[in-house]
């Protein structure tokens, strides 16, 4: 996976130990890393049946919205300058790598990373707002 290079906590304890901001950054980084590959995927795979295609588009939109939502809720304005450059630089190589992946790998990596993001977000949520079903 193109995101394998990122250092992400691999377990509950590690995830809980990380301070909030770092975790948030991590989440955003992950989300950012998938923006381009997803759009590329959608572009290159026009031959898919319509419902799959629409689903894929829907997912990329969701990723985008999720990123925006996290940014907003965490009070982060945008990718902010420090993040931007690194993500830009990393983004290119990452997207190159992503292009080389096979479809099944692509999906597998995406599934895993989305699971990661979900778990981190949940931990964040229960840290910030413990009363709601936590």
Distances (CA, A) of 44 to 16, 48, 78: 39, 10, 28
Q: Interface with other proteins by CB under 8 A: which range of 31-39, 49-57, 91-99, 119-127?
A: 119-127
Among 2, 7, 13, 89, binds other proteins (CB under 8 A): 13
Going residue by residue from 76 to 95, which x/- string records binding to other proteins, judged by CB under 8 A? --------------------
Q: Half-sphere exposure (CA, 13 Å, Cβ side) for 35?
A: 17
Contacts with other proteins: how many residues (CB under 8 A)?
22
Measured CA to CA in angstroms, residue 38 lies from 61, 73, 98, 109, 118 at distances of 9, 24, 9, 12, 18
* Binding residue (CB under 8 A) for other proteins from 7, 10, 49, 77: 10
**SS3 of residue 76 by DSSP:** coil
Which of 73, 91, 77 has the alpha carbon at shortest distance from 32?
Answer: 91
Q: Judged by CB under 8 A, which of 2, 8, 28, 110 binds other proteins?
A: 8
- Work out which of 42, 64, 99, 125 binds other proteins, going by CB under 8 A: 125
Scanning the chain, the segments in alpha helix (DSSP H) are 12-17, 20-44, 50-73, 80-100, 103-128
The interface with other proteins within residues 97-116 (CB under 8 A) comprises 112, 115-116
4 touches other proteins by CB under 8 A = yes
Q: Smallest distance from the beta carbon of 117 to other proteins, in angstroms? A: 11
């Amino acid at each position: 996976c193109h995101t394998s290079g990122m250092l992400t906590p691999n377990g509950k304890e590690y995830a809980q130990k990380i301070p909030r901001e770092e975790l948030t950054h991590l989440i955003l980084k992950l989300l950012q890393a998938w923006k381009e590959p997803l759009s590329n995927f959608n572009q290159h795979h026009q031959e898919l049946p319509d419902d799959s295609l629409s689903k894929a588009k829907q997912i990329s939109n969701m990723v985008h919205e999720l990123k925006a939502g996290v940014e907003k809720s965490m009070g982060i304005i945008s990718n902010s300058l420090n993040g931007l450059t690194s993500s830009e630089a990393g983004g290119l190589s990452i997207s190159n790598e992503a292009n080389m992946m096979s479809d099944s790998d692509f999906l597998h990596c995406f599934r895993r990373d989305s699971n990661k993001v979900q778990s981190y977000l949940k931990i964040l949520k229960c840290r910030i707002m413990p009363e709601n079903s936590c």
